[in-house]
Amino acid sequence: MIPYKQLSLADIFSDCQEKFENDKPAFLSLLETHIDINEFIPISFRNHFYASTGRTRKYPLQAFLWALIIQRIFSIPTDQLLLTFLTYSKPLREFCGFSKVPDASKITRFKQDFLDDLQLVFDKLVDVTEPICQAIDSAKADMTIFDSSGIEAFVAESKANRELCYTMADEMALNVSDNPKVFQSYLDVQSRFPNYSVNNALLILKQMPQATQLGDLNYWKNQKNYIRKNELDNNVLILEPGDEYRREDGSVGTYINAKKVYDISQSKNSRHRETPLNDINSLIRAIANSSPVAFKSIAPEQMPQGYAVLYDKNSDRIYLRNGLDDGVKVFQLTTMEIAHAMMAKDNPDYDRNESHLTAYAASYMLCKQYGINTDDFTFEVSPESETNEPQDIKKELTKIKSIANDISNRMEPTLVKNRATKEKSYER
């Protein structure tokens, strides 16, 4: 990146304000003379911007681009300061095409979702911003060229972070496959973040395995909480889907962006919100009510040796040994057998031995998620794949996650109902 000299905030504001206030027509005329914005917008960018949402865009594409161009020309260092100029200058606001000034998060989101598109536009604009700078003030032109708005730096950093995320996730996938202890640690992370993708669970495992609640700066602000200044550089990178776009062959793809998030332990109010606990009886009732196959109690002598709970594919039932009164053990074993039942359904190639680790790991995740003791679990092997490639290992991890999430989602309606009943009884 070409180095440049950044003007002071006071200089920027006073210079811009003078030009905006004293010579508005001339300034805006310069922009119109040197830049035909429509010529700089590739059709792919238009299609991406307008086709990626099912509702009408509140702010037009040209408005965002004009705002970023103005930010570039005057070396306005922050999105918030840019929006301040737009707020206090009606002619400038109208020139850009904003009927209402967006908030800073909208600008940031625009940059994040359209990184590749913005790179194309600003690559073309490098040559035309120089004449405008010269026309505004030749003495300051070489102080405001090339990367004044930080767009190029923003794009470069975001692309680098995205590639770094993929590299770290692949690295951790191989570590998970090689080391049972790392595999168990991954399951711990994934159980705390059941809605996160496998890639993101691997990224958390790599960067901050102790994390319990993650969010970006806007999230914590909305929570009336703020990340401590000394922690701002200690972010966790995860991958976040952006807008959809249409490829040249007509298929639909999704932009993937790297996102910086922070754990609640890095915030000013580091108390994690408590998840409502469910007693073991409620959990077992939820399992029984949501199981995809029927349960049947049988005498101990009828059970195969070594089993207290067992899924039988031929009868498509889960058998429980009479007299099993250890609630924790019942939960552990029944969730494991339900996992087997799910894997066996409509699968002629189902093999119990080959499916054991997946069922075992899914049960472990559910125990972790619901606060059930996991001391009985021992991991001596890790998921394997025929190729031992990161993507194939991730597929195995995804299977575990999907089964655990499916069981949990089936249980939730019963658990929610039970919690509501308890709350009413407490009110009485």
pTM (two decimals): 0.68
Alpha-carbon gap, residue 156 to 161, rounded angstroms? 9
Residue length of the chain: 428
- Amino acid letter, 256: I
The answer to whether the CB of 300 falls within 8 A of the CB of 307 is no
**Residue 38, CA distances (Å) to 65, 190, 216, 227 in order:** 10, 46, 34, 40
Structure tokens, 376? 């009985």
Structure tokens, 204? 């958390």
The answer to whether the CB of 405 falls within 8 A of the CB of 194 is yes
First to last CA, the chain: 68
What does the CA dihedral 322, 323, 328, 332 come to, rounded to 10 degrees?
Answer: -20
Question: Quick count: other Cβ atoms within 10 Å of Cβ 185?
Answer: 17
Low-confidence ranges of the chain (pLDDT < 70): 1-34, 52-55, 73-75, 125-156, 245, 272-277, 421-428
Q: What pLDDT score does 139 carry?
A: 45
Q: What pLDDT score does 2 carry?
A: 33
Give me the DSSP letters along 3-69: --PPPPHHHHHHHHHHHHHHSHHHHHHHHHHH--GGGGS-HHHHHHHHHSSSS--SS-HHHHHHHHH
Q: What pLDDT score does 1 carry?
A: 33
* Sole residue written with tokens 């920027």: 12
Q: What pLDDT score does 42 carry?
A: 84
